[in-house]
Structures are given as C-alpha cells and as structure tokens.
Amino acid sequence: MDIIAYFQSYTHYFWEWTTDQDVPDASGYNENNLIAIPNVGAIAYRPYVFEILKELKNTGFPPFGSLLLVLYAIQDGYLNLDGVFYYLNRQKNISPEIASDIEHAIKFLENLSQLGSSLKKGRNKIILLHTIFGDSHNKVSPVNSGLILKIFDTKPHIIAEAANKKDLTAVAVNRDIKTLALLQNRFPTTESIINAMRGIVNIPELEEEVIEEETTVETDKDFIQELIEEPKTFQVGSLIKRIWSGLKIPMRHLSPGEQPIGGISDMTNKGDFHRMLLSEFANEDEVFMNRVANNEALYIQREIPPEENIFERIILIDTSLKNWGTPKVLGFASAIAVIKHPKAHSECKVFALGQTNIPISLDKVEEVIENLNQVSPILEVSKALEKFFEEEHREKDLEVFFITHQENLANQKLQKVIHENRDRLKFLVTTSADGELNFYKHHKLTRKHIQKIILPLKELWANPPQRRQKGENNSSKNWKRTDVPINYPILFPTPINKIATFLYEGEFFILSNKKQLLRTYLSDNYYNRNYYDHYKIHRGCEVLFEDISVKPKGQFALAKNKQQQFILCQYQPDKKLISKLNLNTKEYSELNLTGKRIPLNHKLVYYDRSFYLHQQDIPYSIKINVDGNIYLEEVFEKEKGMDKNTLKVETEIDKLKTSGIKILNNFSNIGINSEKNLVVSNNEFNKVYDNSLTLYRNRHRIEIFASQNKNRFSFSDGSEIITDSRGMLTFKSSNKNIPEFFIPSTEYGFLALATHTEFGGSEYYLPESTLLKVKKMEDMYAEYLRRFIDQILEYGT
C-alpha cells in the first residue's frame, strides 16, 4: 500500500483532513494538519498521529480509519461517540455482513472508552495500541510502514493528494470496520483488554505516577525550562517568563481592613486616652471635653500586623473553536504563569471548558503536552461556564479566572453568564492571535481593565528546539551532538545559495540560506589583473551570526547602528511590511505600510547612514531610521548621490555572483579505501596535481570504516573526524604528536589544510588577516593527513 492510498479520505465518511492555520507544523507543510469528524469535533493533529504511527512502525500500521476510531475512543474528556456511530451506521446498507461488523465495531469502541483514565495516558496509551493492533487484521507490513514514514519526511505535501476525497467504496469501509469487529471478538470486555495489556507489561496506576507535587521556586524554574526545551511545549514555555515580567495580578492577599496604612486615614475618633493625639490636649478644657463627649477627638488607630489570607484559585480555560491555535497557547501560558509564579503559594485548580468542564493538571511537561490537545468543536462555552457557577463552591476565599478569546466577549450568551456571576468571577483574561493579553478585574460588580501585555511572538518563537529523535536522550553522552566552533583558523567555503548579498563600508556580507550572516573577501593581492579577475578574486567567508530569525523572502539591507551593532532591514512588498532585526541583541521591530504611499518599484537600499525605499531617477523616497524603533520619513532627493551609490554597490556585488562553491554537508561512509586514501561520503581525498589536495568521487572499496555518532566519526584506534555541515572537517588523531587540523569539505576544487599555526593549499581559504605560517600543500599533506591515515592503518595491522 502506498502513502496516498493509506491516508486517502472519502466523501460521506466519518473523518476528513482539515487545516488549522494557527498551528505551524515542524514538517514545514502546514496544510491538512488536522483530522476531524465532520460536525462532531477534532480527532487529533497530524504531528500527534504521526508520532503514534512511529511507535507502531515495527509491528506494522493498522488501517488508518481503524486507528482514528480507536484514538478518538480513548481520548480523555467529552466524547461524542453517538456522532461517530451515526457515520458508521450509515454504511450498514452496503451488505448484511458489514452491518453485523459495524455493530461489533461500535461495541469495541464503547469498551475502549470505558477504560480507566490511567490506561489511556502517556506510555500506557502506546501499550494499549500495541496490545489491540499487535496481531490485527488488514495490517500494513513493517517494511511498507517504514516507507510511508520515510516518504512523508521527504515530501509532507503529498498528504494534499490524499486529502482530495474520493467516492467511498465498500472495500474502504470493510477494511476499517472488519479490523475492529475482529478485535471485539478477541477482546469482548474491558477486562479482557486490561488483562491482555498486563500480559505485555506491568501497568502502574496513575496515582503512583503523581505521588509528589513539585512546589518549590527552584523546581518551578526548572519546570519552565523543561517546557522550553521540549519542542511540543516550547511555544507555551517561552511565553511564561515574559508574562511574569509584566503581570500585575496580586499573588498574595492580606486580610482586609487590618493593614497598617498610616497618615490621616490611620486615625479614628474612638480609642483609649493614651492613644489620643497630643494636639487635642492643647484645646481649652471646655472645648476638649466637648470633643471627647461628642466623639470628635482624634486617636491613633492601633496597628495590627497584616495577616495573609489563604485562598484558592480556579482557572477556567476556554477550548472552543476561536481558542484553537495561538490563542490556546497564550491561554495555557497565562494559566501556567499564574500557577507557577515565584510568589504564588495558593492552591490552584484548572478546568478546560468545552461541551463540559474537564479538570486538568499542568504540573508536568507530559500533562501540558496532553492537555494542549484539549479542543472542543463548539462555538462558545456559555453553558459550561454557567454549569460551573451553578455547582456549589462553598470555599470562603475563592478566586476564579476565566481565560478566553477577545472576540468571544461579544457573544451575548457568554456576556450574560459573565455579568450574572461577576461577583464570583474575579479575573477575566482575553487572548488574541497576534499575542495580545488583556487582564480585567471584577471589583464591586464592575469590570476594570488592569493591564495589557503584548507578547512579541515572532521573537520569542524564533529559535525552537529541534525535535528529539527516537531513543535520543540529551543527558546521554552517546546521543549528544559534538559542538563545533563558530569559526576556524581558515575560512569556510562560500555557499552557492544565498538569500542576499551586501556591500557595507567596503566589506562584503552574505545572508546565506542557512540564515547566517557571513563576511567574505575579494583579493586585492594580484600581479596580473585579468588572471585575478577571472580566477582568484574570491575568498572564503567567516561566520558573524547564526540562527538569524528571518524569512527568506523580500528585499534586505544591512547597516550598523551607533553602537556598531549590525541591523538587518527587510522589506516585504507583498505583505506591505518593513522590519528591522538587531543581530547582536535580537531586538525586533516592524511597521505595517498599509495605507502608505509607496510606489510599486521602490527598492530597499542603504545610503548615508539610513535605509531607504528608493527608485532610480525618482526624487521621492521613504527614509527609514537605523537606530531605535522603526519610523518613516518622506524625503525628496534633489541630487543623484543615492542613484550613483546604488549603481556602484550593485556593480561591486555582481563580483560575488560566481563566488559560491558546492559544499559537502551530508556526511556518511567515512573510512579508508584500498588505495589508503581517506574517503568522506563516497568522496576521496587525493593529490591529483602537485602541491594540491582535492576531493573527488571515490572508485575504490572502503576497507576501514569509522563508526558514526551524530557528527563525530571514530576509528578503532581512537582517531576522530568531526563534521560541520557548513563545510569543514576537524581531524583529531589518537597520536598526540599529530596536532588538530582542519580541511574544508567542498567537491571538485583545490582545498586547504591548516592547523592552529600553519596553512597550506588554496589561498581561497586563507583569512585576510592571519598569523598562520604558509607552507607548501605537499608538506602539509605529508606531515598531517598522511600521518593521520597511517596511524589508523598501523593500529589495524
């Protein structure tokens, strides 16, 4: 079965592919990222389903429809199984046999839904799926299962073909339903399912999994860091500390009326004589007695130490349709920010509001991951909110938070419930898709806006952690990627693919496709101008900044501010957006140009310490400041200095057009071949010409292989080669008399070899300013690379 056939959707069937535009996908393909039951609700997001499939790969995939039905049935919280069964019952008229199988399948799904909550969570869920699908009917072979996952990893957009619905056939229905019907015969009761699971592994009860609650401030800080480091909770975790920095909600309450205030408000007209103000005794006796008799004399109120008021917080999170995606992330981040605030010591309960009230916990990373999948297909949660307030909450000091989308406040039903319960609803928090949080407080039956927090989502979400591979453990040395320096004693090869090139104050810079800012050189050390113009004018590059948060589209310009920090300006005409990013501090600002009078052919350029949107031979330009936040200024350039400068810059930058070299960055099969030469990714280091070193296609058998551990390749003698996908190899020999040395990894070109003190080979890799001693490549090869290889060969013999 191919990938399209496996994920194929059908008309009038119980599931379909849909798109949630607010939820990005790690695969880069954001369409068709949600699987839902029409008019019933969501089943799961595509990344979650693929994580499940990876767990089932070794035993083979069950039919996709069967898997979706099981995943929906074992969800926690509200289930609309009747809505699912409606779609299944519609298929009974196909044949009497299918009608009977549908009855058995429905019974099996009901049994699954009645399993205990602990059996349907975390690792127990995977055990459950392995139990029921281990020897199920209509399975895809393990080989084909692996191929399906591999094809999706390389071409995730192929799902679009499967999302185009075909006419439903009896074969498709029978494949899904027959599997579940046979499982019902095998597991007729919930007890039989549990017993089968226990036959595989001992199942811990849920209560044993959450024995100890972490409450210390240090633990909470660790918890926030764990959220940031986990790819599935990175977006939530990265917002919490930013919310903390602006949160004005009181974390402790002092008992009312007993706080020492001081000043005039701390005086009273009743009290003991020893607390009377001395100024009262200055009155005449008759006046003094009248003031005392008429309670007009002033006394100092006795100060009572403030007493902490113990109260309980309840946070209600709206999970209706408008709160999916980014608003839901903001909602959960706000809730965790309140619960885990360093100054918060009160108890806190959390409920997810949808078609009903579901109590949830957010104390562990796994619980946050699981509860982020809480989605409800309803439009608004007024019924669930009303039900919450109808229940008896007799706690003396109860503080209720309600977190919802800003647009939901316009709903009349929700407005009514909030208004009727404003005496018990203490705080109202609203979210939005652009990162805006608003906090309201109900005080004396009136709503007061406390504060607004605008979260820079692009900045905070710019560098998500990489998804861990199966079996990877960050604490394990065996699975840790070897760190590489930002630069080496020699230059990197200049990449062919570039986002933009710049000339700034006589220096050339490149914004590469890997989102690095590189500085490169053009050699001026020439004797024959024609020769250097054609052959040796280019040099390699050094890395200035990595992991730049920028989209590879639009126009770019580069400059330095007054603090000599690099500022990258980006103009996106299609989005009418101008933005600036400080590469040193990561500060980001943007401005929407909608409504601005900007000609269509204006280009972004740098000139005379400012950025401009400018068009040649047109005096009207838009000036953009380099320092500070973005602001625009309309200018009329009478002189042609900007045009001359722009033409000059374009002419110079054209010299970089042919500077790129094909970089070898996908490393595998490192070893030594039968000719006793080093092989890297099926390319052989060889001396084709005198005093040169090249990397050509290997045509000989590899006799000694290096074992791979991420980007570290180790030989049996202990010698190592560390690879860098930017185009560099680091050699570390087990012979301590051979110093560490470096060779660029580029195909079909003269290479260089350098240590920390010596250099040999192509001048392309020689830095402009260097203390390296230049030697012949022939000597460098014999002294370093040849000895490195011989050391490995001698150990082998």
Q: What is the pLDDT of residue 740?
A: 96
| 562 neighbors 471 (Cβ within 8 angstroms) | no
**Looking at domain 217-253+310-460, which of 3.90.1690, 1.10.357, 3.40.50, 3.30.2010 is its CATH number?**
3.40.50
128 Cα distance to chain centroid:
29
Residue 339 CB-half CA count within 13 A: 27
Looking at residue 428, its pLDDT comes to 92
What is the average per-residue pLDDT within 252-267? 53
- Contact in structure between 720 and 738 (CB atoms under 8 Å): no
Backbone CA torsion sign across 289, 292, 295, 296:
positive
Tracing tokens 């690099």 back to the chain, one arrives at 566
- DSSP code of residue 57: T
pLDDT band, residue 58 (cuts 50/70/90): confident
pLDDT 10s digits, 415-457:
999 988 888 888 899 999 888 999 998 887 788 888 888 888 8
Domain layout of the chain by residue ranges: 3-209, 217-253+310-460, 261-300, 498-656, 671-796
pLDDT for res 670: 92
Residue 23 · residue 31 · CB < 8 Å: no
| Cα–Cα separations (whole angstroms), residue 490 to 246, 311, 368, 730, 788 | 46, 64, 46, 11, 19
**H-assigned helices in 158-267:** 159-163, 170-186, 190-200, 206-209, 217-229, 234-246
Q: Any idea which residue has 């006046």 for tokens? A: 287
Confidence band of 312 (pLDDT split at 50, 70, 90): confident
Assess whether pLDDT exceeds 70 at residue 472.
no
Which has the closest alpha carbon to 1: 122, 100, 142, 98?
Answer: 142
Mean pLDDT of 307-330: 81
Q: Which two tokens stand for residue 609?
A: 């310490």
Q: Which of 273, 246, 383 is nearest to 318 (CA)?
A: 383
609 in Cβ contact with 625 (< 8 Å): no
Tell me the C-alpha distance between 209 and 204, whole Å: 7
Are 611 and 559 in contact, with CB atoms under 8 Å apart?
yes
Write the burial class of residue 536 (CB in 10 Å: 0-12 exposed, 13-18 middle, 19+ buried).
middle
Question: Residue 332 — very low, low, confident or very high, per pLDDT cuts 50/70/90?
Answer: very high
The mean pLDDT of 687-695, rounded to a whole number, is 79
E strand intervals along 345-435: 347-353, 357-360, 398-405, 425-431
Rounded Cα distance, 121 and 76, in Å? 8
What is the CA 336 to chain-centroid distance, rounded? Answer: 18
**Three-state DSSP state, 290:** helix
By three-state DSSP, how is residue 792 classified?
Answer: helix
* Beta carbons within 8 Å of 302's beta carbon, 6+ residues apart: 271, 275
Angle 584-589-595 from CA coordinates, rounded to 5°: 150
pLDDT in the model for residue 566: 95
Query: Which of 459-473, 487-501, 774-788 shows the lowest per-residue confidence on average (mean pLDDT)?
Result: 459-473
Region label for 417, one of left (φ > 0), alpha (ψ between -120 and 50) or beta (otherwise): alpha
Q: What is the mean pLDDT of the chain?
A: 82
pLDDT tens digit string along 122-168? 778 888 888 888 888 888 888 888 888 888 888 888 898 989 999 98
Token pair, residue 163, equals 């999302």
Q: What does the alpha-carbon distance between residue 386 and residue 356 come to, in Å, rounded to a whole number?
A: 10
Specify burial of residue 712 (Cβ count, 10 A radius: 0-12, 13-18, 19+): middle
| pLDDT of amino acid 345 | 65
Which of 188-197, 215-224, 226-235, 294-303 has the least mean pLDDT?
Answer: 215-224
DSSP bridge pairs for 425: 400
Alpha carbon distance 259, 269 (integer Å) = 18
Residue 617 — pLDDT band, cuts 50, 70, 90?
confident
Asked if residues 747 and 695 have their Cβ atoms less than 8 Å apart, the reply is yes
E strands within 616-715? 620-624, 632-636, 671-673, 678-680, 683-686, 694-697, 702-705, 707-709, 712-714
Distance between CA atoms of 471 and 121, rounded to whole angstroms?
20
**What SS3 state is found at 663?**
strand
Q: Dihedral of CA 669/670/671/673: which sign? A: positive
Residue 757 token pair: 């003190």
